[in-house]
Structure 1
Amino acid sequence: MYSSLPKVLHKIAGQSMLSRVINTAQSLTPQNIIVVYGHGAELVQAQIKQEVIWAEQKEQLGTGHALKMALPHLSQEGKTLVLYGDVPLIGTQTLQTLLTLSQDGIALLTDTLANPTGLGRIIRANDQILGIVEEKDATEEQKKIQEINTGIMVIPNQHIDAWLGQLQNNNAQKEFYLTDIIALATKNNVPVYGLSVHHSDEATGVNNKQQLAMLERSYQKQQALYLLEKGVTLLDANRFDLRGTLTHGQDVTIDVNVVFEGENSLGNNISIGANCVLKNVTIADNVIIEPFSHLENCIIKQHSKVGPFARLRTGTELSENTHIGNFVEVKNSQIGQNSKVNHLSYIGDTSIGQSTNIGAGTITCNYDGVNKFKTKIGDHVFVGSGTMLVAPVTVENGATIGAGSVITKICLSDKLTLARSPQVTIDSWLRPQKATKE
């Protein structure tokens, strides 16, 4: 991966591969989940928040040896499902089918590839799986086999200890292959059932950034097709990213290169323009998000309009029919019904009432270098362009502030407030001239 980050912590759709696999395992309600780890243990354990049992593999001696490290945590009854932290897109439904298929024996997930180079081949006789041979140990005839082992399997616990104890490392890699238990099962008359994966990407592992990017696109395409099936309009399903969850109503239109992160909820009749990023956002009906807007941890109510090039940060709540326009940033503020902040402004730690207009270039000066302070703006207020509101400060209902003011005191209701330095003209002033070279 050419990275200091352990491979299994690289992300698909904003979530580490290992975390995805653990979540899928949890969906099967297992008795426990055991993660066998080796390199990068501290980073892996620090980032994985799910409840798992950790088993260390100090020496990397193969997949059979890895499962052996989990033996102290396995029951003598039931089954063990073997998954891989770098195979992130394996699905719950596939695994449920595999578990059902296992019955009284081993169930093995297989795939058929046009080019199986480098992968273990499935050895069959009369449709019965007899064993798996790794590429480096395969004969030329066996290398022609296109059915391959994905590594994902279900093993009856009553046999695991004995079979792992019989594994040998007399192979090209000098490793203990877990796949060798297939031959041991056949020798012990334990049936081996094969299940072919529905889609190859579900069982594809990641060993480099190219494969990571390929699975990212595969996952995003699945998400996009699901949303299209549910009635969402995506102007280009190939240019859409969902890195979390998205619930939605009817008549939702999403333009190209929109990214959703975290948990998002969209109402009915929503339009989201191109190149927007939305993270943990709740949007009510009949809202327009114009292109290049960035929204995070905020609530937008009905009939509002945001953008283009707007940024709504954590704690922002827009009431009905509000307008946030070009190059406006809003943070931890509540903006009342029918109010507008349309141009080139920063609104932070502020409450704004109903039907208030904030002029272009207005800034709430909410931070003194140590503490944050609140600005309170009432209903039916007009704030002229280029105004600085130095918090803490209050602007009462109906107040008007003249353009270019620096406000440090209360602005009274229904009054005009100005706070400007006198304009001065210097008659004797001369424009500076560049010195001439002699």
Structure 2
Amino acid sequence: MNKVAALVLAAGKGTRMKSRLPKVLHKVGGKAMVERVLDTVNAVGVDRSVVIVGFGGEEVRAYLGDRCEYVTQAEQKGTGHAVREAKPVLGDFDGTIVLMCGDTPLVTEDTIKALLNEHTTTGAAATVLTAHMENPTGYGRIIRDEEGKVLRIVEQKDGTPDELAVQEINTGMYAFDSQKLWPCLAQLSDDNAQGELYITDVVGILVNAGERVSAYMTMDEDESLGVNSRVQLAEAERILRNRKLRELMDAGVTIIDPATTYVAPEVVVGSDTILHPGTILEGNTVIGKECEIGPHTRFTNVTVGDNNVIHFTYAHDCEIKNGTDIGPYVHLRPNTVIGDKVHIGNFVEVKNSIVGEGTKFPHLSYIGDSDVGGGVNIGCGTITVNYDGKIKHRTRIDDGAFVGCNTNLVAPVHVGSYSYIGAGSTITKDVPDKALAVGRARQMIKENWVTDDTFKKK
């Protein structure tokens, strides 16, 4: 295959979004739309990726970083004008330019590969990605001759009644022979209903010049959805989510209620895992086999092993190993690693901590910046006091330690292996192995402190 460059249109404001944010930075499935398009073309294996920015261009550049090259379209005068602005960057590129829209996050890698294959096989100067749509209102129509050859593309505002009756629509995605594209762009005219330079007019120019224009029709019209409003954004989100849920169910994952389960496209879930209603799996989350997740559990960038039961839990940027029992109402924060067979009960928060095998945090505890060994029991109400106002210190609790209820461990502090801490203690000094530590204030009793006068005052 010839070299391929991707050119992504991302300059529009998207006025119907009614947003300060550039349209292409609105997220679908947890990623900005333009990022999803870039991911797709990069998965195809393009040699170069160029994004045309305009409204909010600095924000788009900041979001995408060095993943691509950039062209600025200072004035938005149509799609043809946008592509023409890329000539200083791609004018010397010899190969195929695949033109993408930054607001079409549903197009797939397989479809772009098929488009490029059609383009190469037919030796066309241009190949249009099309779709059949029952209600094509708003889309450009593909006009063919009696033999089925592509003649031109007619925009909605410029079409005749017969042309607008056509149900084969232009998705706005194309493959162009780079050397034949640039001369056509110089011939574009803004003599149309919108007073803009249309990239669609390149098709007619090529046909009139005797060049071949091909078309590849995707069988999934959803791929053509361009997001121009919040309603369409929600629709794209629904379609992407349903694709992923179907993929997971086909691979052996049980999803109790797909209507209330949200899984990002990049998430991996092992077979025989059950996802209960209200489960949200985001980012680069990986769930192992034979887990039971949810209800009402949210994971963002979490790695989970096998045979875990986790419900009513929020976890992000952390790891949970195998055979754990977690929830309800648990918060696992970044840089936490929960070892095998750990039990974490209700109302527990763990942050930046390593927890060893078989340890138990039954309820109502905060464990932060800690290294906790295996077989440790943390009593109800235990707090690691990790912050002195300037620095966060670590707490170390060795294997087999038993920490009584309502204990404060004032870091930095080390609790030795198989040691015991009495309930209600505040521990400020290291506890040796197998020792008993009690750090309570002395109890005082004043008998007959309450008198009849005490009640009269109330």
Which TM-score tier does this pair reach, normalised by the shorter chain?
over 0.9
2:304 to 280, 283, 301: 283
Q: How big is the shift at 1:30?
A: 2.1
CA offsets per residue over residues 386-422 of structure 1, 9 Å max, x none? 1111111122222221211111122233333222223
1:250 paired with 2:266, answer no
Matched residue, 1:87: 104
Give the direction of change, closer, same or farther, for the CA distance of 1:246–1:133 in structure 2 (3 Å limit): closer
Query: Is 1:263 equivalent to 2:280 in the alignment?
Result: no
Deviation at 1:262, TM superposition (A): 2.5
- Candidates 367, 376, 382, aligned match of 2:396: 376
In 2, the alpha carbon distance for the partners of 1:398 and 1:148 equals 72
Distance 1:230 1:350 in 2: 38
Partner of 1:72: 88
| SS of residue matched to 2:299 | strand
Query: Is the contact made by 1:129 and 1:193 (CA closer than 8 Å) also made in structure 2?
Result: yes
1:413 is matched with 433
Q: In the aligned structure 2, how far is the partner of 1:78 from the partner of 1:335?
A: 55
Range 6-15 or range 119-128, more displaced: 119-128
Residues 150-185 of structure 1: per-residue CA shift (max 9 Å, x gap): 111111122212211111111111101111111111
The alpha-carbon deviation at position 249 of structure 1 amounts to 3.4
CA 1:388–1:70: 2 relative to 1, 3 Å = same
Return closer, same or farther for 1:116/1:360 CA change in 2, 3 Å cut-off: same
Give the one of 187, 192, 200 matched to 1:166.
Answer: 187
- The partner residue of 2:243 within 189, 205, 222 is 222
Distance 2:455 2:413 in 1: 40
Cα distance in 1, alignment partners of residues 40 and 374 from structure 2:
47
Residue in structure 2 matched with residue 385 of structure 1 by the alignment: 405
Instruction: Name the amino acid aligned to 1:118.
Output: G
- Partner in structure 1 of residue 232 of structure 2: 211
Q: Residue 132 of structure 1 is aligned with which of 131, 153, 177?
A: 153
SS of the residue corresponding to residue 248 of structure 2 reads helix
Secondary structure of 1:327 counterpart: strand
Matching of residues 148-159 of structure 1 within 5 Å: 148-159=169-180
Deviation at residue 431 of structure 1 after TM alignment: 5.5
| Mapped partners of 2:305, 2:33: distance in 1 | 33
Q: How far does the alpha carbon of each residue in 1:215-250 deviate from its partner, in whole angstroms, 9 at most, with x for none?
A: 011001101111111111111223222235333433
DSSP 3-state at the match of 1:101: helix
Residue number in structure 1 paired with 2:332: 312
Task: Give the conservation status (yes or no) of the 8 Å contact 2:244–2:264.
Answer: no
Structure 2 CA distance for aligned equivalents of residues 432 and 410 of structure 1? 49
Q: What is the rounded CA distance, in whole Å, between the counterparts of 1:393 and 1:202 in structure 2?
A: 57
User: Deviations along 1:123-167, whole A, 9 cap, x unmatched?
Assistant: 121111111111211222222222221111111122212211111
Q: CA deviation at 1:76?
A: 5.5
Change in 2 beyond 3 A, CA 1:208/1:320? same
Find the partner of 2:58 among 33, 39, 42. 42
Asked if the contact 1:255–1:273 (Cα under 8 Å) also holds between the matched residues in 2, the reply is yes
Q: Deviations over 1:313-341 (max 9, x none)?
A: 12222222211110111112122222111
Residue-pair matches, total = 433
Q: 1:267, 1:77 → 2: CA distance?
A: 46
Q: Secondary structure at the match of 2:143?
A: strand
Unaligned runs of 5+ in 1: none
Q: Secondary structure at the match of 1:111?
A: strand
Alpha-carbon distance in structure 1 between the residues aligned to 2:269 and 2:135: 41
TM-score by length of 2: 0.90
Q: 1:177 to 1:305 in 2, by over 3 A?
A: same
2:118 equivalent to 1:101 = yes
State the distance in 2 between where 1:308 and 1:63 align.
52
Contact 1:21 1:83 in 2 (8 A): yes
Is it true that 1:332 corresponds to 2:352 in the alignment? Answer: yes
1:336, 1:52 → 2: CA distance? 43
Residues in 2 aligned to 1:191 and 1:151: alpha-carbon distance in whole angstroms: 18
Answer with 191-200 or 87-96: which moved more. 191-200
Q: Structure 2: where are the runs of 5+ without partners?
A: 1-16
> Which 10-residue stretch deviates more, 221-230 or 142-151?
142-151
Amino acid at match of 1:273: G
Aligned to 1:298: 318
* 1:80 aligned partner, one-letter code: I
The worse-fitting range, judged by mean Cα deviation, of 73-82 and 186-195 is 73-82
The alpha-carbon distance between structure 1 residues 304 and 23, as it changes in their structure 2 partners (threshold 3 A), is same
How far 1:119 sits from its partner (Å)?
2.0
C-alpha distance in structure 2 between counterparts of 1:12 and 1:375, whole Å: 41
Task: State the SS of the aligned residue for 1:83.
Answer: strand
SS in 2 for 1:215: helix
8 Å Cα contact 2:244-2:265 kept in structure 1: no
Structure 1 CA distance for aligned equivalents of residues 197 and 277 of structure 2: 48
| Counterpart residue identity of residue 145, structure 1 | V
Which residue identity is paired with 1:313?
A: R
Distance change (3 Å), C-alpha of 1:432 and 1:399: farther
Identity %: 39
